[in-house]
Amino acid sequence: MALRRSIAAALERVPSLDEWLDPALLAREKWPAFADAIRTLHRPVDPSDLAWSGPAWSRLAYDEMLAGQLALALTRAHMAGAAGAPVP
């Protein structure tokens, strides 16, 4: 019961952020907004809400992969900017 209350409290605090994905991509894939995807997975109304191939899971998986790719790009850009010491 404590876990259920903790999840409910966390879901109340999920902010409604401006969308960072292209609206055409969201429409084509039929993905929900980020906050809606999280709420769907933590408060499913229908068993199909929990399907791995469902829109909520797909949306969050895409966001996770995008975040990883952005972090990798930032790390590579930072590494490229740091030149080593010249060797005579």
Domain assignment present for 36: yes
Total domains in the fold of the chain? 1
Domain assignment present for 67: yes
Q: At what angle do helices 34-42 and 2-12 cross, to 10 degrees?
A: 170
pLDDT of residue 33: 95
Domain assignment present for 80: no
pLDDT of residue 88: 79
pLDDT of residue 20: 94
| The pLDDT of residue 31 is above 90 | yes
Domain assignment present for 85: no
pLDDT of residue 65: 97
pLDDT tens digits along 57-75:
999 999 999 999 999 999 9
Domain assignment present for 1: no
Rounded to 5 degrees, φ, ψ at 63 are -60, -40
35 C-beta neighbours (distance < 10 Å), count = 13
Segments forming the whole domain that contains residue 62: 20-72
- Per-residue CA distances from 32 to 8, 13, 24, 52, 57 (Å): 20, 18, 12, 15, 10
pTM: 0.79
